[in-house]
Structure 1
Amino acid sequence: MADRVERLTNLLALLLETRRPLTLHEIASELESQYPDAGQARRAAFERDKAALREIGVEISTETFGGDRAGEMGHHIERSSFELPDLDLTDDEVRALQVALAATRPDSAIGEEALLKLGGVGGGVGGPIRMHLPELPALPILRSAVAQRHPVSFRYSGSVRKVEPWGLLLRDGFWYVVGFDQDRGAPRTFRVDRFEGEVAIDSAIVFEPPSDGDVGAALPTNPLLLGDEVAAEREAVVHIAARRAWLVEREIGSERILVRQDDGSITIRLPFTNEDALRSWVLGFLDDAELLEPVDVRDRLIEWLRAAV
């Protein structure tokens, strides 16, 4: 015999889907082996199930038959009384709900169904949404430091960085802390999952954040400049095949083109501080892109490819 929760779920689904009222006998036949065979025990179990559903707000309608079925009782659920009416949400409101639900990581079947109904998996307003927010040990400490305006220190790319954290931002699935680097005397961004070791807070100092309060504006929109893996901004030289040249020029602008070859290919220059992002960008073009400089970055890219084979 099915457990109580499974039986209640199946009973609810059956009474919602039926086009006519069902007797207890018909219900027991549809939900085979889920109710006792004995008449009195079956009736008692069914009455308990009806009471349980009514306690959570599910109204079960009953109807007494006449004619050759006189005296029999039929049961069903009016969908109009059970289902929510159309909420008449605007496109922006639907999109906001999609993002909020996706951010909760709806890995359960119920969560996936809810996201589907909001258009977050198979389509809907603005296309599908999937979001999995990474949780990192440093995040609670950084959030506290941002809220209380205390400087933090941490190891990053082999050196200790002292930063006045202005805020935390999520970009392309990664958390970044944006703030003022005290040693470099300039705003910097750091990818939190690349912190080496623990984060320390200097609670004796309270800093003043930027007056405009726009943390997002301090985060570069160019992924090649996200993070601070290198001490200073560097420039990459990349050769792009002719068939992709137009696409790259549209992306980076004609001012970054160093050479236009007769065959239609181009050589470009790209500023970067994030070597991994540069590697991903180059490899995204497969055979249509070749990193020429810096030589040390090119060598590490070749080593990475050999290790991956």
Structure 2
Amino acid sequence: MAIAKAERLMNLALCLMNTRRPLSKRELRSSVEAYREITSDDAFNRMFERDKDDLRELGLVIEIVESLDGDTGYLARRDRNRLPEIALDAEEAAALSLAARVWQQARLAGAASGALQKLRAAGVPFETADDTGHAGYPHGVGGVIEPRIPAHEPAFEPLMLAARDRRPVTFEYRKANAVRPQTRQVEPWALECWRGHWYLAGWDRDRKARRVFRLSRIVGRVRSRSGGFTAEVPDHVDVRQTVETWAGEGATSTARIRLRRGAGYPLRARAVETVPAPGEWAADWDELEIPYGHGLDAWLVEFGPDVVVLGPQELRADVIERLRAVAKG
């Protein structure tokens, strides 16, 4: 729903709910700012009827009252439009609290804080912890384990708003093995965090296919484009499953790598086996066996000199090729 329409519906709902007597169309037209800008009576009547129907579909009970002089009035009585009592279990409350912490790093920080305060006032308990934890990893304070989801990428907020409003965007994107970024025209569908990084799923207009983009690889500003979506948005967008497949999650084969100690925590977390490296490598390196699937080479390149691929040979060759491409840039 466009922001302008949502604001207009909200203003109309507030007018209908905050009156003690039915209001006529003329009174509503003068009270709602968006209506005052319409000069044509026919255009106003059509918009008002559509807005009234939309509010009813959203659950607002609107009464129509005929006055003695034949004029029609409208109102929404508060006793007929009360929300049910808020009742959240511990898992639902934790999910809302975690979502609010993501918005603390975007423009919705004020709204998120206000929503949590209202829920607390309604008696919904929230476990909180201080901010001493490291972003992207769980930490505990006083026995409370609280996951942290960072949203520091500048592209997060414009993409989140564009996905919400169904607006296509343009941005410069640098692939892991690319020397220069390329322009991408994307219809954004959904954002999801996986292993401390945010990813966007959407329709790539130039490639005419669905794609997943890592936000940290977006260079410069995200620009909105006019017009709507050209591709159908799927009912379910599973960003994480796509990224996991690219990173080798669920793979049936394994790869052997050498990893510098104190580096590559995500790789260590997924290792099937970890042993000290032999010989001259023993002081500073470990050898890991990790799941091997499509896209693992691009992920390993991101760890730079902290990773040495031992096998299989095709993976080693792919990683070396990507590193050479980056070095040439």
**Smaller-chain TM-score range?**
0.3 to 0.5
> TM-score, normalization: structure 2?
0.40
**Structure whose alpha-carbon radius of gyration is higher:** 1
